[in-house]
Structure 1
Amino acid sequence: MGDSTDKTQRTGFLRRLARARDGGVALVFGLALPPLMMMTVAGVDLHRAVTVRSSLQDALDAAALAAARSQYTDAAGVQRIGMASLRANMPNFTGVTLDESATSFTLTPERVVIAVARANVDAIIADILLPPYGQVLDDELPVTASSEVMRSNNRVEVALVLDNTGSMAGTKLANTKTAAIDLIDRLAAADGRSVEPDAVRISLVPFSFTVRVPTDDGQQPTWMTNSGSHTGGTGATGLFDTAVGRFTLFEQLNTRWAGCVEARPQPYDIRDTEPVTTDLATMFVPYFAPDLPDNVYTDSTYRSWTGLEPNDYLDDGTGFPSSVNSTNRAQVWRDRQARASKYSSTPRDTLDDGFGPNRDCVIQPLLRLTNDYDALRAGVNAMFAHGNTQVPMGAIWGWHTLSPNAPFGDGRPYGQERLLKIMILMTDGANVLSSNSSPNASTYSAQGYIWQDRLGITSGSTAQRRTALDNRLDHPTAGREDLCGNMKAQGIIIYTVAVQVDAAAQALMERCATSSDHYFNVTSASAIGAAFDRIAGSIENLRITR
């Protein structure tokens, strides 16, 4: 009986307790208080850990960049540079220790710097208020960060050497402009992604039968000579009958040199030799189209001299011979053409790029190596078609822009580690030294007149003149010095683009290229862009893989 009553009482108490509501909140709060306190206190330390991790990530990113930009390729060097930068950039937090045993900078075979770092944050608040919490975490909160930086394998210097001759007019030149600007854009983007300072520089060299360099108000650059005894001076192959400098003649005519240049005499026309004043053959002279003989002779056979090569801008200042015939005609012409004294005379009319010593010097000036991509785009857009083709002239000045030697000296020294020098040489025609029926037997160009023996010939057919120019660019006979071979010997990578040219020009441009896969035979103007796109992709790959 008693046991039954006790059991009933206990059961009732439990039921009343279960139904009771008084003090329930306090009971629940009491049960929840320990975990709530732990969460609140832990939040303070977690906030500190998040702050430290953000700073650690920023410092690690900077350190990985420093390691990638360094010249070190060995593990110890990369680690040393990375750690030094990380220590310098990591803020000095109280209670935070950089775990150097768990921090590393590694350079992979793919030239990627992989950085990982760990810092330990003391559990200060939690360890004071809730010692068991701190002990669970060994009194520290670990924070980690990681970073990867692609090390730029190569810096690149690119010369864009582009045909601007008359045959380029229309679609070919328009497509070339678009393709060149697209290539500039791609290389500019690669420069922006690079960890290397000044990783990409580009020059632009438009060419026809001459090249035009930037001028300082027509003044004489230090690498040019005003000597009258230089190429084109007196003698059997000279333009003038007395030794007189061309800058002197420009001054006497009260006009300025427009910036076009002649080729240097052989062999310097295809070499990167530094111009020095003690060796005049290495110096450059300005393009100077001479005044041609007056049209005063009335014989029906020989009278139309000005129509043969119209650039008669001065009076000859001498009487005409009583007799001109097929025997003395050329000598009479050259005697009158060579009179240096007439350049003190008053010109017949205003001298400009269509009349006078700067005649046909209208090509867009070249741009030296630069990473001013807006200037390069503007230079490309300003190109226009005029004149005949002399590819060696464009190629040698493309080389001059890449060279560490004067005249510009803008290129980095040859042979530097992780440096690529690249030329993109594009033409749509065959080499030409135009002929005419005047006693000069050719029009004036960067090669002077054919009778001046600048190409190793003093006369010849169109085919012979073309061959002479072709051989200066790339001789088909092994062992013969030529321009493309000289550039390759200095490690310059040459891409060539031949646009709608004949078989002989195709063979020439393919020989000049570094290899057959650096040569692009373009059979339609619409395919110019595709060729340049492939070249841009190849250059991007070279920057990563070489």
Structure 2
Amino acid sequence: MRADLKATVLRIIRLGRRLATDTGGNIAIVFALVLPLLIMITLGGVDISRASTVKMNLQDALDAATLAAARSQFTDNARITEVGMNALRANLAPFPEIQLLEGQSSFRLNTTTGAVQGDAIVSVDTLVADIVLPPYGAVLEDRLPVRARSEVLRSNNRIEVALVLDNTGSMAGQKLTNTKAAAIDLINRLEAADNRSIEADAIKISLVPFSMTVRVAQGGTSTIPSYMSNATNHTGATGSLGLFSTGVGRFTLFQDLGTTWGGCVEARPQPFDIRDTAPTTSNQATMFVPYFAPDEPDRGDYPNDSTWQSWLNSSNSDQNDYLNDTPTSSYGTSNASNPMGGNSGRRTMFFNRLKERSKYNTTNRRGAMTADFGPNNGCTLQPIIRLTDNYNALRTAVNNMVATGNTNVPLGAMWGWHTLSPNAPFGDGRPYGSERLQKIIIIMTDGENVMSDNNSPNDSFYNGLGYIWQERLGMGTGSDSARRQRMDERFDHSGNSQEDLCGNMKAAGIEVYTVAVQVDTQAQTLMRRCASSSDHYFPVNNASGIGAAFDRIAGAIENLRISR
């Protein structure tokens, strides 16, 4: 191409010389004078156009390379330049005619603004300059320099993230394994984003494993946290819907048993179960109540009564009967085939035994108390990790997660909110509305909200909502599906005029991501509705898809730290 162009230019010059020597008229004289300028403008435009095209390609390549450098975890210019140059070389590979002048190209971090700046110079072959203007072509060595500059801001936004992860029994196996891997990958990526920030504590993360309860503290101590209640009139303490025959604080019961609280909690009563209201002793409904699984009535006291026997689990290993009841004359005799005089009598006897306060002492214990047997029965979850930038602690906690219990998404999500909140019980979060602050909650579940009935007068096993007969959902009877609907509505109600947890979180400025793993249509609708937008909802059809969902969420959060 260069040879053809050079031949064409030489022919034009010879034509011009002939015209210049033509004495036939003024036109020849004028043409002779103007010809060099016309040639320089016309043919020089070829090089200008070529340089303009190279400039566009270079700018695109440099923008992408600078973004890659900004996304790296490095803060020293040498490493930032290494990442940027590697990306820039790859981006320019499709353009062999462009020669990157590496010695004159660089990337650097502006520690004042937090921006990564990239400068690049390339050279491109000239097609005309060395022919039309040989002296200039010689100076340029037949190549033109082309420059570009790019800047990517490492944002100074601050991010608080709550990871609310389903740890129920149905998560056992590959789902929990994949969830752990996905959560750790997200933590790693956010740690890298935090490391490349010029601001301290730019990113903090909390972890909330949940099932039918949430373990808000490690437990194992007699010290009562300030946000927990030991009052005798708190939720479920006494009365017709209470767990005990007389008013008693649950921490007092732990002490009477010679054991300690395991760290799990019940949900607060409505409406505080879905509100970020700080707990205060002046309003016991706002306080948090220790999870305390009552001692179940003794199965063996009425061996001849098949109904009594069927109400209780078939083996002591499954039954949470950790104390000896203290039979009285009102309990009936143990050798009669029907000592309680029918079902009504049995139910009366069952609740007399269940609610008996005096049996809670160290002398009537049946076996050692553990998280699987005793008042902490079911409190086997990994404890919450409060909002922190201790990424090693977060990774350790994720690896220690276990699958146990049933599903209560509202309770788990509410404690995720508590970890982000500037209010008690923790108060770890920055104030709502703080400049350059984004609070994010990621809620992942593989199941449907459940509070299933069983065959005993308790109607259910003890959980973070107590027993069904305590009417913590506003209903003491009804079907499993009706109770599920109530739990769903506390989480996210289909009616816009109804208060719900997801609406309250979003109203507080929290960005909500939801991940639904192999759930039914009702749960999919619920989780989709809770998410801040359609692109914040991730349906997952099998365990292998959990990682991809978390990867996309991590990328979206990382983008909050990068501004083009």
- Tell me which interval the TM-score lies in, with the shorter structure as reference length: 0.7 to 0.9
Which range moves more in the overlay, 487-496 or 210-219?
210-219
Report the secondary structure of 1:340's partner residue.
coil
Q: Which residue of 1 aligns with 2:53?
A: none
* Alignment match, 1:15: none
CA deviation digits over 1:459-516, x for unaligned, max 9? 2211111111111110111110111111001000000000010000000000110011
In structure 2, how many angstroms separate the alpha carbons of the residues matched to 1:430 and 1:159? Answer: 21
Letter in 2 for 1:245: G
Counterpart in 1 of 2:354?
337
- Asked whether the 8 Å contact 1:154–1:544 carries over to 2, the reply is no
Q: Which residue of 2 aligns with 1:414?
A: 432
Of 339, 345, 350, the match for 2:368: 350
- TM-fit CA distance, 1:384: 1.3
Distance 2:161 2:348 in 1: 47
Q: For each residue in 1:447-466, what CA deviation from the matched residue of structure 2 results, as whole angstroms up to 9, or x when unmatched?
A: 00011111111122111111
Unaligned runs of 5+ in 2: 1-109, 120-148, 333-338
| Alpha-carbon distance, 1:216 to partner | 5.6
Question: For the residues of structure 2 that align with 1:150 and 1:477, how far apart are their CA atoms?
Answer: 42
1:176 maps to 179
1:303 matched residue in structure 2 = 309
The alignment partner of 1:223 has SS state of coil
Aligned to 2:238: 234
- Matching residue of 1:244: 248
- 2:199 pairs with 1:190: no
Deviation, 1:330, is 2.4
Given that 2:166 and 2:209 are in contact with CA atoms closer than 8 Å, whether structure 1 keeps it comes out as yes
**Is it true that 1:431 corresponds to 2:474 in the alignment?**
no
Q: Which runs of 5+ in 1 are unaligned?
A: 1-104, 117-145
Provide, for residues 228-276 of structure 1, a one-character-per-residue CA deviation record: whole Å limited to 9, x for no partner. 1100111111000111100000000000111011111111111110001
In structure 2, how many angstroms separate the alpha carbons of the residues matched to 1:536 and 1:258? 33
1:448 maps onto 2:457 in alignment: no
Which residue matches 1:318?
327
Q: For 1:350 and 1:114, how far apart are their aligned partners in 2? A: 64
Using the alignment, how far apart are the partners of 2:218 and 2:248 within structure 1?
21
Residue in 2 aligned with 1:154? 157
1:117-266 to 2 correspondence within 5 Å? 150-215=153-218, 217-218=220-221, 219-266=223-270
The Cα of 1:331 is off from its aligned counterpart by 2.6
> Which residue of structure 1 aligns with residue 274 of structure 2?
270
Letter in 2 for 1:192: N
For 1:441 and 1:227, the matched residues in 2 are separated by 26
1:153 Cα deviation from its structure 2 partner = 3.8
Deviation at 1:544, TM superposition (A): 3.3
User: Which amino acid in structure 2 is aligned with residue 481 of structure 1?
Assistant: E
Amino acid at match of 1:379: A
Q: Secondary structure at the match of 1:484?
A: helix
CA contact (8 A) 1:306 1:312 kept: no
Match for 2:294 among 286, 290, 296?
Answer: 290
**Would the alpha carbon gap of residues 107 and 307 (structure 1) be closer, same or farther in structure 2, given more than 3 Å must change?**
closer
Whole-angstrom distance in 2 between the partners of 1:348 and 1:392: 34
Q: Which whole-Å CA distance do the structure 2 matches of 1:462 and 1:476 have between them?
A: 19
Contact 1:214 1:366 in 2 (8 A): yes
Rounded Cα–Cα distance in structure 2 between residues aligned with 1:106 and 1:191: 15
Task: Indicate if the aligned counterparts of 1:107 and 1:114 stay in contact, CA closer than 8 A.
Answer: no
Match of 2:382 in 1: 364
Residue 492 (structure 2) aligns with: 474
Tell me which residue corresponds to 1:389. Answer: 407
Partner amino acid for 2:491? L
TM-score when normalising by structure 2: 0.70
SS of 1:430 mapped into structure 2: coil
Is the CA contact 1:324–1:332 (under 8 Å) kept in the aligned structure 2?
no
- The amino acid that maps onto 1:299 is D
- Does 1:490 find its partner at 2:499? no
Q: Find the aligned partners of 1:527 and 1:215 in 2 and give their Cα distance.
A: 32
Deviation at 1:115, TM superposition (A): 13
**Distance in 1 of aligned mates of 2:171 and 2:118:** 52
CA–CA distance in structure 2, aligned partners of residues 326 and 289 of structure 1: 24
Identity %: 62
The code of the aligned residue for 2:348 comes to Q
Specify the code of the residue in structure 2 equivalent to 1:496: T
Larger radius of gyration: 1
The residue type equivalent to 1:197 in the other structure is A
- Give the superposition deviation at 1:434: 2.3
| Paired positions, count | 411
How far apart, CA to CA, are the structure 1 residues paired with 2:219 and 2:213?
Answer: 19
Q: 2:541 aligned to 493, 499, 523, which one?
A: 523
- Structure 1 residue 401 and structure 2 residue 419: aligned? yes
After TM superposition, give the deviation of residue 190 of structure 1 in Å.
0.3
Runs of 4+ in 1 over 6 A off after TM superposition: 105-108, 113-116, 146-149
* Post-superposition CA distance 1:105-133 (Å, at most 9, x none): 9999xx849899xxxxxxxxxxxxxxxxx
| 1:70-114 deviation per Cα after TM superposition (whole angstroms, max 9, x unaligned) | xxxxxxxxxxxxxxxxxxxxxxxxxxxxxxxxxxx9999xx8498
Q: Structure 2 CA distance, aligned partners of 1:229 and 1:333? A: 23
Counterpart of 1:507 (choices 508, 520, 525) is: 525
Aligned partners of 1:372 and 1:323: how far apart in 2?
58
